[in-house]
Every structure is written in C-alpha cells, then in structure tokens.
Amino acid sequence: MLFTRSTFFIACTLAAGMGLSACSKSNNEEKQAPLTASTPATGEASTLTERNAQQRLISTLQDGLKKANINAKITDAQPTEVPNLYWISFEGMPSVYATADGKYILQGEIVRLGGKELHNVSQNLQAANAKKLFDQLKTEDLIVYPAKGKTKHVVYVFTDASCPYCHKLHEHMDEINSKGIEVRYIAWPRGEQFIPAMESVWCSKDRQLAFNQAISGAQLPPAACKNPVRDMYQMGLNIGVNGTPAIYSTDGVYLGGYMEPNELAERLNK
C-alpha cells in the first residue's frame, strides 16, 4: 500500500510531490502492508480555557515545525482520552499525536487496555474525519458500481488503474455487487506518472468503460476536461491513505486493502 506513517514528515511534507504506495506509492511491491486508519476519540473543547489551550498548542507546534524547516499547516488540535495528549490534524497530511506542551510529536497507534478487547484510541477521530470528507463528495464525481438487488452496504475505494491489487479487486466487482455492496471509486493515482491515466478515465463520457480499459493496460486519449483527480488525491492524504486499494465504510472506518468479496462482506456485517 502507500506510504507509511513513520515517514510522515519526510514522505508527506518534505518530499512534497505525489509519492505513491504499493499498490503503495509507485514501488509496485508484491505485498501490501496493512493499513490501519487510526485516530483518537474524544469530544471537542467545551470551555474557553480549553479552546485557548488548543490554540496555544497549535501555535507552539507550528513554530516548532517552522524552526525545523517543515512546511506543514495545522488545521485542528483535539484532546484525546489520554491525559495531555492531543490529536493534530494537518492540511494534506496524515494526523499525529502531540503532547500538550507541544514538545513532542508521536506517530502510530495508541491502544487502551482494561477491557476484554483492545481499544484503538485513534480510530474514532480518524473515522469521523474521513466520514466528513466522504459526505462532501458528489456522486457524479465518482465511479459508482451499484449493488445488485437491495443495497446492504456502501464502500468508498481509493483506486489506481496501474495498481495490481486494484485490478484484482476490480475483477470481483460483479460478485461484490451481488452481495448487496455498492462500490464508489475515488481516484488515487500512486504517483505523478499515473495522474494522466486517471484524469483520462475521469474525463471519459463512460468512466466505467474507460476504467475497465485503463486497468487492463490500455492507453487512453489525453484528458481534456476539468476533473477532480488531484483533489481526490489530496483528500486521501488528508485521511491517511498510503496505498491502493484503500477501502472505507460510509462511516469513515478503514476496512482494509485488497479483500476477497466474502471477506469484505463479513467485515461490513460486523
């Protein structure tokens, strides 16, 4: 799949451009590292004191990043259930944790113990952010494969016509749809060199036909329209996508990368 969070600032900020994932950026690896869209869960600041603390934290972090010559714009800071730990959202980059004093940034998963099952502290906030962005999408800007019969589930899939795992998933589209699952494709070219092909798909009168051709290796005519491909790529970065395919529920929960139809249906039914 795409880039890893451990290389967040280098891969996403300093390297700027559009590095891809395997079906992660453009290193077509045989295996995809599992993606886990993670993010904390807690309420927004409810008092003026808390809101002021958040603004001070954002200012401190922004200053620290600037001193380190990192061009990253912070868009939000939310307290987590972990004392003195905040969830920091960036423009065009995956979120990270930061200590309340703004001195330390943490990446990865934070898991709470104590119950019968482990609880991923990050998951709810990440999902909420993704859901907000999915809700803003227009159906006409996507490639939609409706469910056959009654629609039981809808999934959003970040895809790239050059990705072998996307190809494998696409081969099972009829079976996926027959299980009552509607699939909505979002363009996520894994590198600058793959953008033209995806733009050509999105500029085609029949996007499904064009995508079928592109994912089979056909060369499409150059794009000749205003299209949302780059905006979709940026949206993927904002929610932490780092490889294709990346499958999400309508609630913004990351379901996984490539999955067999039965596996996907089972995951959605849980």
Categorise residue 152: left if φ over 0, alpha if ψ from -120 to 50, beta otherwise.
Answer: alpha
Determine the pLDDT at residue 52: 87
Burial class (CB in 10 A: 0-12, 13-18, 19+), 75: middle
pLDDT at 110: 87
Fold that domain 133-269 belongs to in CATH: Glutaredoxin (3.40.30)
Between CA 108 and CA 116 the distance in angstroms is 22
CA triple 88-94-97, angle to 5 deg: 35
Which part of the chain has CATH 3.40.30.10? Answer: 133-269
Cα torsion through 104, 105, 111, 114, rounded to 10: 20
Q: Mean pLDDT for each consecutive 10-residue tract of the chain (270 residues)? A: 39 38 49 33 61 91 93 90 91 87 90 86 86 94 96 98 96 97 97 94 96 94 91 91 95 95 94
| Residue matched to tokens 């995956």 | 94
**Which residue spans of the chain are classified as CATH 3.10.450.70?**
40-121
Q: How far apart are CA 147 and CA 223, in angstroms?
A: 29
- Position 24 scores a pLDDT of 65
Identify the pLDDT of residue 230. Answer: 94
Positions marked catalytic: 160, 163, 166, 190
Q: Output the DSSP codes for 60-88.
A: HHHHHHHHTT----EEEEEE-SSTTEEEE
Alpha carbon distance 110, 41 (integer Å): 11
Supply 254's token pair: 């990351």
User: How far is the C-alpha of 117 from the C-alpha of 141, rounded, in Å?
Assistant: 39
> Which pLDDT score, from 0 to 100, does residue 182 have?
98
- For residue 128, give the 3-state DSSP assignment: helix
17: number of Cβ within 10 Å: 8
Q: Which CATH number fits domain 40-121: 3.40.50.1370, 2.40.420.20, 3.10.450.70, 3.40.50.970?
A: 3.10.450.70
Which amino acid makes up residue 63? D
Q: What pTM does this model have? A: 0.74
Q: What is the pLDDT of residue 21?
A: 35
The pLDDT, as a whole number, for residue 46 is 56
